[in-house]
Amino acid sequence: MSEAIPRRASTLAVSPTPSPVASFWQLALRRFLRHRVAVAGLLVLVAISLMAVAAPVLAPHSPTAIDASGFQAAPSAAHPLGTDSVGRDVLSRLIYAARVSLTVGILAVAMYVVIGTTVGAIAGYYGGTVDLVLSRTMDVMLSFPPLIIILFAVSVFGRPSLWNVIIVLGLLGWPPVARLVRGQVLALRQQEFVQAARAVGATDRVVMARHLLPNAMAPVLVAATFGTANAILIEAALSFLGLGVQPPTPSWGNMLTDAQSLTVLERMPWLWAPPGFMILISVLTINFVGDGLRDALDPGLKL
């Protein structure tokens, strides 16, 4: 009889499929999503932005329409947040004022980020006399109290307006970004990938645009986030002092001018509490997002 040959189970080890390596920005996104406070701040900031975009739909009245039947009227069904000293609906002005604050924050920061990035990249890449002149210029501009310089510049520009505020903030806010970019470029310009780009004949402009600046943008992005919150605060302060956005254009800062009276502060909180609350919430949420970006873009952190 032929003996049955037992079958041996084949034990073939199946090698697992290697998982793709996540990029730096994918890792940063994972870190940011784990920062609950930053995610909550981003959601609130998105809601404020949507409110600003949809202001004509959400506002119950025109922000400049005057209700002659009530001045400084208390909140009611017709005016949920009351009316101001001229009879304009506070809620409508509050919604439209979000456009002004976000416009100032985004455009002013975009302007000085472009200027600061350019100046910092040139100073850090070329060094020598160029770096010396540009660095001393940054030091001189940073040595003056920023609010005093901004007040002086706005008054020199002539009649206060929204665009004057944006231009002044954009032209005066670049030195911190320039110093940040300069430090990043100084640390990167001797790296091997930069030397390799030079070896194959890449021009200085190509080296800075394709190799240095993309690797230096993470801290600049964080600085821009905090700068947006600072720009909103400065615009509110200038408008409160009468050197920013002028009525009847609604701004959270010029809505606070009614709070200069002790009677308004004590008996009419609907005139100053809503714009003050919106400034507080906007600045806090932007700072929370900045904290989350700073932690997410820190290469020293581990997943």
- Contact between 92 and 63 under an 8 Å Cβ cutoff? The reply is yes
Establish if 121 belongs to a structural domain.
Answer: yes
The domain tally of the chain equals: 1
* Rg from Cα positions in the chain: 27
Query: What single letter denotes the amino acid at residue 233?
Result: L
Where do we find the tokens 């900045």?
Answer: 290
Helices (H) and strands (E) in the chain, counts: 14, 0
Distances (CA, A) of 148 to 111, 119, 137: 20, 24, 18
- CA 226/CA 219 separation, integer angstroms: 11
Q: In which domain, by residue range, is 164 found?
A: 48-54+86-296
Averaged pLDDT, 154-159 = 75
Averaged pLDDT, 268-296 = 91
- CA 267/CA 260 separation, integer angstroms: 13
Establish if 171 belongs to a structural domain.
Answer: yes
Confidence of residue 2 (pLDDT cuts 50, 70, 90): very low
- CA 142/CA 174 separation, integer angstroms: 10
Which pTM does this prediction carry? 0.83
Establish if 66 belongs to a structural domain.
Answer: no
Name the DSSP letter for residue 143.
Answer: T
- CA 70/CA 85 separation, integer angstroms: 9
- For 244-281, how does the pLDDT look when each residue is reduced to its tens digit (9 = 90+)? 888 888 999 888 887 777 888 888 888 899 999 999 99
What is the DSSP code string of 152-172? HHHHHTSS--HHHHHHHHHHH
Averaged pLDDT, 147-154 = 81
Q: Residue 174: what pLDDT?
A: 92
Establish if 265 belongs to a structural domain.
Answer: yes
Averaged pLDDT, 165-175 = 89
Q: What is the CATH number of the domain that holds 222?
A: 1.10.3720.10
Give residues with Cβ within 8 angstroms of 112, minimum separation 6. 169, 170, 171, 172, 173, 174, 177, 227
Percent of the chain with pLDDT over 90: 36
pLDDT exceeds 80 at position 157: no
- CA 29/CA 23 separation, integer angstroms: 10
Establish if 36 belongs to a structural domain.
Answer: no
Establish if 246 belongs to a structural domain.
Answer: yes
Establish if 40 belongs to a structural domain.
Answer: no
Establish if 289 belongs to a structural domain.
Answer: yes
- CA 296/CA 287 separation, integer angstroms: 14
